Amino acid sequence: MSADTKIAELLTELHQLIKQTQEERSRSEHNLLNIQKTHERMQTENKTSPYYRTKLRGLYTTAKADAEAECSILRHALDKIAEIKSLLEERRIAAKMAGVYSDSDPPRKTMRRGVLMTLLQQSAMTLPLWIGKPGESPPPLCGATPANSDYVAKQGDKVAARVKAMDGDEQWILAEVVSYNHSTNKYEVDDIDEEGKERHTLSRRRIIPLPQWKANPETDPEALFSKDQLVLALYPQTTCFYRALIHTPPHRPQDDYSVLFEDTSYADGYSPPLNVAQSIRGRLQREQEEMTRRRRTKRRSGSRGGC
């Protein structure tokens, strides 16, 4: 079965699940209305009789069952969405590895910066939100939760990669994993800003896997970076990571972080608060302490559109 056919089937199944969700929600509304009316009658009569207690117990039991049924359908729908995204990513990687053009075709043009920035923003916005079951802890690479020590990023994953610039200096860039060699413990990654034209071979300590899920501040606040925590953050409208302090963590799932980037052009050494998405910042590691503000200021005016 082709990827296109499989995706079409999954979309049909997803559509049916969405319809089922609405049907479940419509059925549960009648029961929720009965709960509300029962509480209003109890307040009017100013008493809690055995009758009302028994009635409410039954209504709440039904409401719990309705909510669990709707939750099950929604989780099934999320699994379908994840499967569709995975197939689309596999297709994109296959096309990239095979080459879009043949030898007789003109060379591929470098993606315009505006288009690249739009794609990165869309990728950040569509990062899935982790929705665990009651009592379930967020997994590795959910928000600020680091990857396990033996974790290996997969082909196509976005990572923060520490590379050498043309002047011999080093910088952290947004890159895409091409492969991992288990015998040498080294990655091959493509600079995301050059559309695969610049490839780097890097050791694991020079790679930071980026989050695969957004953390929900309302249910999993422990999976967020905390205020004043030092991190690497993707500077807005660039593809480079710089040191920053968390100014304000997100309060809602759709919110961004507000961060203060290190910047010697300001009296206190930090920029005014800037927003960065949950999905595009990495945990600051020990070896990153070697980075200097001088290098960051120098690269911001360089050829990488801000790096």
**Per-residue pLDDT at 101 exceeds 50:** no
pLDDT of 301: 41
pLDDT of 21: 95
**Per-residue pLDDT at 212 exceeds 80:** yes
Identify whether 194 is part of a domain: no
Give the integer Cα–Cα distance in Å for 151 and 262.
Answer: 30
Number of domains in the chain: 1
Identify whether 264 is part of a domain: no
Give the integer Cα–Cα distance in Å for 228 and 226.
Answer: 6
Give the integer Cα–Cα distance in Å for 194 and 209.
Answer: 20
Q: What is the pLDDT of residues 58-98, one digit of tens each?
A: 999 999 999 999 999 999 999 999 999 989 988 888 887 77
**Per-residue pLDDT at 115 exceeds 60:** yes
DSSP state of 166: T
pLDDT of 91: 87
Identify whether 29 is part of a domain: yes
Identify whether 46 is part of a domain: yes
**Per-residue pLDDT at 233 exceeds 80:** yes
Read off φ and ψ for residue 203, nearest 5 degrees: -75, 165
Identify whether 147 is part of a domain: no
- When mean pLDDT is compared across 162-171, 230-239, 293-302, the lowest value belongs to 293-302
pLDDT of 111: 59
Give the end-to-end CA distance of the chain in Å, rounded to a whole number. 44
Give the integer Cα–Cα distance in Å for 165 and 158.
Answer: 19
**Per-residue pLDDT at 261 exceeds 60:** yes
Give the integer Cα–Cα distance in Å for 258 and 274.
Answer: 5
* pLDDT, average across residues 186-201: 82
Identify any residues that bridge with 159 across adjacent strands, giving them in sequence order. 175, 209
Give the integer Cα–Cα distance in Å for 233 and 230.
Answer: 9
Beta carbons within 8 Å of 23's beta carbon, 6+ residues apart? none
Structure tokens at 305: 């559109």
197: confidence class by pLDDT, cuts 50, 70, 90: low
**Per-residue pLDDT at 294 exceeds 50:** no
The C-alpha R_g of the chain, in whole angstroms, comes to 25
Residues 285/290/291/294 CA torsion (nearest 10 deg) = 160
2: confidence class by pLDDT, cuts 50, 70, 90: confident
12: confidence class by pLDDT, cuts 50, 70, 90: very high
**Per-residue pLDDT at 287 exceeds 70:** no
pLDDT of 113: 62
**Per-residue pLDDT at 297 exceeds 80:** no
Angle at 96 between CA 154 and CA 92, to 5 degrees: 65
* pLDDT, average across residues 34-51: 90
Identify whether 22 is part of a domain: yes
pLDDT of 280: 59
- The DSSP line for 103-134 is TTSPPPPPPPHHHHHHHHHHHHHTSPBP-PPT
Domain that holds residue 53: 3-98
Identify whether 54 is part of a domain: yes
Structure tokens at 260: 């203060």
**Per-residue pLDDT at 260 exceeds 90:** yes
Identify whether 111 is part of a domain: no
Give the integer Cα–Cα distance in Å for 201 and 178.
Answer: 10
- When mean pLDDT is compared across 28-42, 115-129, 241-255, the lowest value belongs to 115-129
* pLDDT, average across residues 150-165: 92
22: confidence class by pLDDT, cuts 50, 70, 90: very high
190-195's contacts with Cβ under 8 Å and 24+ in sequence apart are 191/161, 191/163, 191/239, 192/116, 192/120, 192/158, 192/239, 193/116, 193/239, 193/304, 193/305, 193/307, 194/110, 195/108, 195/110, 195/111
**What is the rounded average pLDDT for all residues in the chain?**
84
pLDDT of 282: 56
